[in-house]
């Protein structure tokens, strides 16, 4: 299911950072093993979270609603070296 017009989607793909290998693997595994894989943040949202985290360079992050951890890994990319990431999910 596509929500963006094709032209906009093509622009985003052309101007986005590539999805890191670890996140590609997690994406594949989520789609193979989880009942509702579309809840995964995904490539575009993950890159935006990564950019925001790199700009803020947080020491601590609290993520509520972790799912399979994709967004948590993206947020961790910009954390300070001794930072702590807490995730909460059922």
pLDDT, tens digit, for every residue of 44-78? 899 999 999 999 999 999 999 999 999 999 999 99
- Residues 16 and 47 sit within 8 Å (Cβ to Cβ): yes
- Residues 59 and 80 sit within 8 Å (Cβ to Cβ): yes
Asked if the structure places residue 1 within a domain, the reply is no
Where in the sequence is the domain holding 82, given as residue range(s)?
6-88
Asked if the structure places residue 30 within a domain, the reply is yes
Asked if the structure places residue 79 within a domain, the reply is yes
Asked if the structure places residue 42 within a domain, the reply is yes
The pTM of this model reads 0.85
- Residues 78 and 56 sit within 8 Å (Cβ to Cβ): yes
The total number of structural domains in the chain stands at: 1
CATH number of the domain encompassing residue 12: 3.40.50.150
pLDDT tens for 26-50 read 999 999 999 889 889 888 899 999 9
- Residues 88 and 62 sit within 8 Å (Cβ to Cβ): yes
Asked if the structure places residue 47 within a domain, the reply is yes
């Amino acid at each position: 299911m596509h929500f963006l017009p094709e032209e906009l989607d093509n622009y985003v793909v052309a101007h986005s950072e590539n999805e890191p290998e670890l996140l590609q693997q997690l994406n594949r595994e989520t789609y193979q093993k989880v009942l509702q894989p579309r809840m995964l943040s995904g490539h575009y949202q993950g890159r935006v979270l990564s950019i925001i985290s790199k700009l803020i360079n947080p020491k601590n992050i609290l993520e509520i609603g972790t799912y399979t951890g994709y967004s948590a890994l993206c947020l961790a990319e910009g954390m300070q070296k001794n930072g702590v990431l807490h995730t909460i999910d059922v």
